[in-house]
Chain A
Amino acid sequence: MNESQRVLSTVLRPRADHDRREKIIRAVLLLFSAVSIFTTLGIIAVLLQETILFFREVSIVEFFTETRWTPLFASKKFGVLPLVNGTVLVAAGAMFIALPLGLLAAIYLSEYASDRARKLLKPALEVLAGVPTVVYGYFALTFVTPLLQKIWPQTQAFNALSASIVMGFMILPLVASLSEDAMSAVPQSLRQAAYALGATRLEVTLRTVVPAALSGISAAFILAISRAIGETMIVAIAAGQQPKLTLNPLQSIETMTAYIVQVSLGDTPQQSIAYKTIFAVGMLLFVMTLVMNLISNWMTRRYREVYE
């Protein structure tokens, strides 16, 4: 009985001080994770506030249907379409390079490369993704554009095409890496089933692995498009500052992001309507990329669930 007395009095006493400390720590850590939520809320609040002010002065209809964008001129027109046109033109061009090459690279890494080659090539490609975008902008302007001008002399000094090409190579590693993840997640047994029917490696790859990894690959593609739309420095440096409705990639255009940079660099008064445009354009950009990111993340989660 001696022992039990000792135990009862000394052993299992509740330690309130410890408990309180643990609770405080937990609360602080929760607060840290909530910073990400505050960030999202902050983005939405800031963009919304200025956008609402903007639309008090400019009608939404004009914003989405007018075909001229001249907020910095004396005669102001607020049609965002030329900026969207520029953005889509450059992004589409970039995708012409990034999607096929990225997918091919992923196929090579996941289906053909030896382990040694993969360990070497993957980080090398990732270096490509780690180069700051201002560097790509420089490369587009001083290397690619002169090259294009040799081929097509009518190419303007600032043009959509050189930005597209360079952006394509910038995004290639993203497509390659995410698609490769999706293809590696395809179970080996599926490949073996196809081989056992007498399929060649190419047929296994194209008819079995790629279709099975399709949702992951699509997720990679959508994320790549979203990245291209939000990319700023390459277009700000190399694509020009002339918002216009055109499909000619050899001309100077302006993207949504480049416009925001243009206004930020200039001396536009902060209370002016011209200044509020960058938040309205930013809002549009945010919504476009957010939708794509949501879809992409949702698809990624789905394929992970399927194969786990």
Chain B
Amino acid sequence: MLQNHEIALSVNNLNVYYGGFHALEDISLEIPARQITAIIGPSGCGKSTFLRCFNRMNDLVPSARVQGQVLFYGQNIYDPKINPVEVRRHIGMVFQKPNPFPKSIYENVAYGARINGYKGDMDELVERSLRAAALWDEVKDNLKKSALALSGGQQQRLCIARAIAVEPQVILMDEPASALDPIATLKIEELMQELKKDYTIVIVTHNMQQAARASDYTAMMMLSKEGSRAGTVIEYDRTDAIFTRPKDKRTEDYVTGRFG
């Protein structure tokens, strides 16, 4: 189904454990470049865990253990020679709750570029990133203002601008709109459509409409079988296929249950 696309990320036999608890079971799939891929599924099935595998944020959970491969343009990011810090610079992340640094708007955007030794014009980069995140017009007159003074929706767009500023290839989003009101949510969705021209986007969402509206591909996650607590991807296809003619009965139940 992905023949027409370049593959940005490719997951092979991925298993994740939290201590003795098997959280993700045997996932293999490919994420197309410059498309929006949504991950949906019931709460606790491992969506966030899966997403965090793409930029090695699971390394920060002491009990977490990841097995298998995640290839980023062919290179395994779990290769022992690879530094996770490098991975994260190229595969950015936007979190569920907006988490701006308690610094000025400007500093928030400039921070990532600074630590990564950006040599260009910082003002220009900040403006470009804020424009790309559709926030520029709202904040251009007070870039020195504390980021914490922004509204929730603005903060989330600032976090997107911050992620963009380090020029990643991929942006991971974990329910980026769940803390926002409908209007702010819509803004984020419009923004995603703009961003997909340049970036590969993987988004976790609880909101079926959002997945249906905004994504090109959808991965449906579920607990792998009755009695097990390990999550896995049970179906992965073009979004319209998932929502109109799902192959798996469980997908259909889940998708329609939310709609009807």
A–B contact with Cβ pairs below 8 Å: the answer is yes
Q: Which residues of A contact B33 (CB under 8 A)?
A: 3
Closest to B75 in A: A12
* A12 pairs with B6, CB closer than 8 A: no
* A12 pairs with B82, CB closer than 8 A: yes
Complex partner residue of A11 from B6, B81, B85, B86, CB under 8 angstroms: B86
Q: Is A40 interfacial (CB-CB < 8 Å)?
A: no
Q: Which residues of B contact A15 (CB under 8 A)?
A: 83, 85-86
Complex partner residue of B77 from A4, A12, A13, A14, CB under 8 angstroms: A12
Query: Knowing A11-B90, A12-B90 touch, does A4 contact B74 (C-beta < 8 A)?
Result: yes
Q: How far is the CB of B245 from chain A (nearest CB, A)?
A: 33
Q: Which of A3, A4, A12 has the most CB of B within 10 A?
A: A12
Q: Complex: how many Å from CA A134 to CA B81?
A: 60
* A19 pairs with B83, CB closer than 8 A: yes
Q: Is A46 interfacial (CB-CB < 8 Å)?
A: no
Q: Complex: how many Å from CA A254 to CA B72?
A: 75
Q: How far is the CB of A39 from chain B (nearest CB, A)?
A: 28
* B169 pairs with A7, CB closer than 8 A: yes
Q: Is B87 interfacial (CB-CB < 8 Å)?
A: yes
Q: Which residues of B contact A8 (CB under 8 A)?
A: 73-75
Query: Knowing A4-B74, A8-B75 touch, does A13 contact B169 (C-beta < 8 A)?
Result: no
Q: Complex: how many Å from CA A213 to CA B13?
A: 51
Closest to A1 in B: B6
Closest to B87 in A: A12
* B81 pairs with A14, CB closer than 8 A: yes
* B83 pairs with A7, CB closer than 8 A: no
Closest to A5 in B: B73
Q: Is A150 interfacial (CB-CB < 8 Å)?
A: no
* B86 pairs with A12, CB closer than 8 A: yes
Closest to A6 in B: B73
Q: Is A56 interfacial (CB-CB < 8 Å)?
A: no
Q: Complex: how many Å from CA A12 to CA B81?
A: 9
Q: Which residues of A contact B6 (CB under 8 A)?
A: 3-4
Interface residues of B in 75-107 (CB under 8 A from A): 75, 77, 81-83, 85-87, 90
Q: Which residues of B contact A18 (CB under 8 A)?
A: 83, 85
Q: Complex: how many Å from CA A8 to CA B77?
A: 11
Q: Complex: how many Å from CA A13 to CA B79?
A: 11
* B75 pairs with A14, CB closer than 8 A: no
Q: Complex: how many Å from CA A15 to CA B81?
A: 10
* A14 pairs with B83, CB closer than 8 A: yes
Interface string of A93-128 (1 = CB under 8 A from B): 000000000000000000000000000000000000
Complex partner residue of A14 from B73, B82, B169, CB under 8 angstroms: B82
Q: Which residues of A contact B82 (CB under 8 A)?
A: 12, 14
Q: Which residues of B contact A11 (CB under 8 A)?
A: 72-73, 75, 86, 90, 169
Q: Complex: how many Å from CA A101 to CA B81?
A: 62
Q: Which residues of B contact A3 (CB under 8 A)?
A: 6, 33, 73, 169
Q: Which residues of A contact B77 (CB under 8 A)?
A: 12
Complex partner residue of A7 from B72, B81, B85, CB under 8 angstroms: B72
Q: Complex: how many Å from CA A13 to CA B86?
A: 8
Interface string of A1-36 (1 = CB under 8 A from B): 001100110011111001100000000000000000
Closest to B85 in A: A18
Q: Complex: how many Å from CA A8 to CA B81?
A: 14
Q: Complex: how many Å from CA A7 to CA B89?
A: 12
Interface string of B207-247 (1 = CB under 8 A from A): 00000000000000000000000000000000000000000
Q: Which residues of A contact B75 (CB under 8 A)?
A: 7-8, 11-12
Q: Complex: how many Å from CA A16 to CA B117?
A: 16
Closest to A8 in B: B75
Closest to A13 in B: B86
Q: How far is the CB of B256 from chain A (nearest CB, A)?
A: 38
Q: Complex: how many Å from CA A13 to CA B85?
A: 11
Closest to A22 in B: B85
Q: Which residues of A contact B169 (CB under 8 A)?
A: 3, 7, 11
* A12 pairs with B72, CB closer than 8 A: yes
Q: How far is the CB of A116 from chain B (nearest CB, A)?
A: 29
Q: Complex: how many Å from CA A7 to CA B33?
A: 13
Q: How far is the CB of B33 from chain A (nearest CB, A)?
A: 7
Q: Which residues of B contact A12 (CB under 8 A)?
A: 72, 75, 77, 82, 86-87, 90
Q: Which residues of B contact A14 (CB under 8 A)?
A: 81-83, 86
Q: How far is the CB of B32 from chain A (nearest CB, A)?
A: 13
Q: Which residues of A contact B74 (CB under 8 A)?
A: 4, 8
Q: Which residues of B contact A13 (CB under 8 A)?
A: 86
Interface residues of A (CB under 8 A from B): 3-4, 7-8, 11-15, 18-19
18 contacts between A and B (CB under 8 A): A3-B33, A3-B169, A4-B73, A7-B72, A7-B75, A7-B90, A8-B73, A8-B74, A11-B72, A11-B75, A12-B72, A12-B82, A12-B87, A14-B81, A14-B86, A15-B85, A15-B86, A18-B83
5 closest Cβ pairs, A-B complex: A4-B73, A7-B73, A11-B90, A12-B86, A12-B82
Given A7-B75, A11-B90, A12-B82, 6 more A-B residue pairs with CB atoms under 8 Å apart are A7-B72, A7-B169, A11-B73, A11-B75, A12-B87, A15-B83
